[in-house]
Structure 1
């Protein structure tokens, strides 16, 4: 409990410091957050450490106070109890943006990324057309589509930079065979996937339908490991994101990876399947 109290106090001090550096009153901050002016008292209690704000409230404060970079990441760590290993569930748009920022920061120092992908190719391996098609089909607001496409394409740097992370991807067969965006777009996607598979730091494995049950069927996740930061697990749950950092959670997902690996086919057989599906599309 003492550690939690210290986090709450540190969070309050950091929020107050950020507000005062921008020369804003409590009332002004409340208005920027879309709250009533009388809610300035609640914000004051957040700053004093006598009441803990929700992670979604902190994410919104980060946005209205225009806090970015490491300062924003530190505030979200304090808000979601990262130091105590509590899961971080992000539901509101501001909180999802902050969680994405933490994910991008983790990828920048990553040495090993393991992606369990039962139904959809990992974003880092998707073509621009497939990314855009997914955004449109998912009813992403039109004015956000271009920015999201650019962000996802930018994440490729993690595997193409001079000192890239090693990427191990375990694909469900459905992730390869499901045509996303039409035959032409999907054929281009499979060609790009074969190109990426030639990189020495990328290993693609597929789990065939005939392999039977494995943790792959429970759902996808990303395990990111680094020599500079603790490992994290990221899950996407239909508009909500979950980030796990506790040693117990990370170890559980490492075991899930190994269970999937036992049912997976090696990279050579995987690229052969991708080439076969591509040939079928081209014939059609």
Structure 2
């Protein structure tokens, strides 16, 4: 059998391959990042992060680079492959979790499930089991998710603002006692001084985050990063322009939501509708 021909030494992993191609194209032209920034129009730090693989950037900047380098749709195709890579979701989520543990402040919008930081073990177990986890893997993931709640406990706990769609409170669980316990926990945590919980009622209309769970973290260095997530994809945003755009959408949602006091009353009314209390 003839020896297999090695066509390229570049990585076959989509994210790394994209970053390598960016470095190669700039290197061939001998361009400093600042000169590339002046030519294309984005901050040089963004290009540096894209070339290091710490962020993928957005389609607009990638298309601009394709146009500048004259590479047709090459970079955009590599970007799409990197975004769709199943390992990408896990890598970005792991980085988000690391940043979450160090955050000075957190805020979130949840579409259909309680924020991970506010989930009880009963809710986490049913939700993770619905996703296919079983046995020891399920036990480990439930423990890890519930352990996250410790971030909001203690005298030095960071402030956390959470907006939950009314759908979060209507979805429920098949295990009614577990659902009762989840609603009771939301009502309890809403009284903590560092937690501001808002309910966005039905009837407030569509908005910029209608289908997307969105989390924000203010970090020690003063930066704010954002993480968006749906059932099949998660993306971490660190570039200022994209984060600010998401923050404006979040602020618009907050303006439509109930106040923390009104929201707790809303949750207590929902609690009364659950047919049974948790078993002792």
Indicate whether the TM-score tops 0.5: yes
| Aligned counterpart for 1:223 among listed residues 216, 223, 239 | 216
Change (3 A) 1:38 1:145: farther
SS class of match (1:210): coil
Alignment: residue pair count: 225
- Structure 2 residue runs of 5 or longer lacking an equivalent are 19-48, 63-78
Distance 2:5 2:104 in 1: 44
Change (3 A) 1:55 1:127: same
- Structure 1 residue runs of 5 or longer lacking an equivalent are 1-36, 59-74
Larger relative helix fraction:
1
Coordinate RMSD, CA, aligned: 3.2
Change (3 A) 1:275 1:81: closer
Change (3 A) 1:275 1:82: same
Change (3 A) 1:271 1:80: same
**Cα drift, residue 160 of structure 1:** 1.5
Change (3 A) 1:56 1:137: farther
1:67-86 mapped onto 2 (5 Å cutoff): 78-81=52-55
| Aligned counterpart for 2:122 among listed residues 106, 120, 129 | 129
**Cα drift, residue 156 of structure 1:** 1.5
- Residue 274 of structure 1 aligns with which residue? 267
**Cα drift, residue 261 of structure 1:** 1.2
- Residue 83 of structure 2 aligns with which residue? 89
| Aligned counterpart for 1:55 among listed residues 5, 15, 18 | 15
1:95-174 mapped onto 2 (5 Å cutoff): 95-140=88-133, 142-174=135-167
Change (3 A) 1:181 1:76: farther
1:35-54 mapped onto 2 (5 Å cutoff): 45-46=9-10, 53-54=13-14
Distance 2:210 2:16 in 1: 30
- Residue 185 of structure 2 aligns with which residue? 192
The answer to whether the 8 A contact 2:180-2:276 is kept is: no
1:240-259 mapped onto 2 (5 Å cutoff): 240-259=233-252
SS class of match (1:163): coil
- Residue 15 of structure 1 aligns with which residue? none
What is the TM-score normalised by the length of structure 2?
0.70
What is the TM-score normalised by the length of structure 1?
0.69
Change (3 A) 1:213 1:240: closer
The answer to whether the 8 A contact 1:89-1:241 is kept is: no
